[in-house]
Structure 1
Amino acid sequence: MGAGTSSDETGPAGPTLRRETSRLLSFSDGVFAIIITLLVLDLQPPRVGRGQLLRALVEQWPAYLAYVTSYVYVAVGWLNHRAAFNRVEKSGKALQWYNLAVLFSTALLPFATSVVSQAMRDGDQADQRTGVVVYGLVGVLVSVSWLGLYHYLARHHDLLDPTVPLRFFPAERARAAIGLLGYALAILVGFLTGPLFALVIFLLLPAFYSLTSSGLYELRRLRHPRR
């Protein structure tokens, strides 16, 4: 919906979005789309001699893994963003800054993806550990920004649609805290043991967020509909 239309939107969670919240969502959707587009730029066809293309493509597996991991992470971030703001009825300057913090941290993922994929492909073990630390730190920063956003919404229930349960955003805040601990653990594991173990954690975290992209509260409600 364009910024000039006067009608409201209704999200899947039910609440009506006012024009200011709709504009915030439209801007954020554009940023997420740009971030996802930037991720694919790191996938370059190898320059090799005749008969060596297949081997070179296989040797680029770290770039493929990093791309898939970051793509899923950004995609799930977009789903989480929609799930959160479809429950927001009012907006304000503070909420807009929390939202900008989420976009700022997420926009660093293409850089971190490029660093870790190049380190795993061309670097020695020291470079690989550095690449893992860089990616993990960006993951920590993204988790902190989501934690701040969820904490703000949990503390300001007056901004939300009246039908939103009081427990929803506190549960989402806990989910963001899990991500923060997960990326911190990946940094520690990757630095002390091996970068490949950290890559596994990096891949598992977006999978966790994908399974809970509608919120932990909604997941529990589906498993126990009478509660």
Structure 2
Amino acid sequence: MQEKETGRVEAFSDGVFAVAITLLVLNIKVPGLLPDDKGLWAVLAREWSMYVAYITSFATIGIMWLNHHRILVHIRRTDTILILLNLLLLSIIVLIPVPTDLLAEYLVRPDMHVAAIIYSSMFFVMSCCFNFLWRYASHENRLLAKNVSPQAVAAINQQYLCGPLFYTVTFVVAWFNAPISILLNFILALFFAIPGPSLASFSGRMKREETVV
């Protein structure tokens, strides 16, 4: 079996995803010593916005990494444009901790909708970059494995196109109801964790063919 040309791209991308998740953890603030330790639970409970922002962003970055891995399974070759598009995507991924910290700070303040708008817009840009990456690689099977079927590509295109559309909805909702927009962002992360039937069956078939080779 011939070694894939995307090995370095995958390794570098995995490192950036790991850094982004690590930066999320660094945003979690531990309360200082209290005069009475009985009040610690109350202090921790008041930081609920920080936990909500962390969980939503962790889920989104984690699922984005999962889908990034899924498309690289199909991509067999790289070129300069693909690498640049991947870097563009990673530049957004590693920036997510910033609006996450902003959301954690302002979700309990009057300007919460501004933080939610910035937060949702970041995910919208991320999903667009992800689509650019996949569409470029898959156009006329430009960089894909030879045995990738048009049906599999069409199924993946349809699934990932939902990203920009749905994140546009969360962006609009953020103007009117910040908590609901955050909930929708979390639900979207769970949605993209589920592979489409065509994608799952193709991945399994491809692995069996590689085993035979």
TM above 0.5: yes
Q: Which has the higher contact order (CA 8 A, sep 6+)?
A: 2
- Is the 1:144–1:176 contact (alpha carbons within 8 Å) kept by the matching residues of 2? no
Percent of aligned pairs with the same residue? 26
The answer for the alignment partner of 2:199 in structure 1 is: 218
The answer for the alignment partner of 2:20 in structure 1 is: 35
The answer for the alignment partner of 2:81 in structure 1 is: 94
The Cα shift of 1:157 comes to 0.7
The answer for the alignment partner of 1:157 in structure 2 is: 141
Distance change (3 Å), C-alpha of 1:171 and 1:112: farther
How large is the Cα RMSD of the aligned pairs?
Answer: 2.0
Unaligned 5+ residue runs, structure 1? 1-7, 9-15, 223-227
Deviations along 1:73-130, one digit per CA (max 9) or x if unpaired, are 1111111111111211111101111111111111121111111111114x22xx1000
The answer for the alignment partner of 1:12 in structure 2 is: none
2:150 alignment partner, SS class = coil
The answer for the alignment partner of 2:116 in structure 1 is: 132
Provide TM-score, normalisation by structure 1.
Answer: 0.81
The Cα shift of 1:217 comes to 2.4
Q: Distance in 1 between matches of 2:126 and 2:78?
A: 21
Deviations along 1:193-216, one digit per CA (max 9) or x if unpaired, are x2111111011010001122xx55
Q: Distance in 2 between matches of 1:166 and 1:107?
A: 32
**Is it true that 1:201 corresponds to 2:188 in the alignment?**
no
Unaligned 5+ residue runs, structure 2? 204-213
Runs ≥4 in structure 1, deviation > 3 angstroms?
219-222
The residue identity in structure 1 corresponding to 2:6 is T
Q: Distance in 1 between matches of 2:166 and 2:64?
A: 16
Matches within 5 A, 1:53-132: 53-121=40-108, 123-124=109-110, 127-132=111-116
Q: Distance in 2 between matches of 1:204 and 1:104?
A: 24
1:45 alignment partner, SS class = coil
The residue identity in structure 2 corresponding to 1:39 is L
Q: Distance in 1 between matches of 2:127 and 2:8?
A: 24
Q: Distance in 1 between matches of 2:39 and 2:17?
A: 36
The Cα shift of 1:156 comes to 4.1
1:210 alignment partner, SS class = coil
1:161 alignment partner, SS class = coil
The Cα shift of 1:168 comes to 2.8
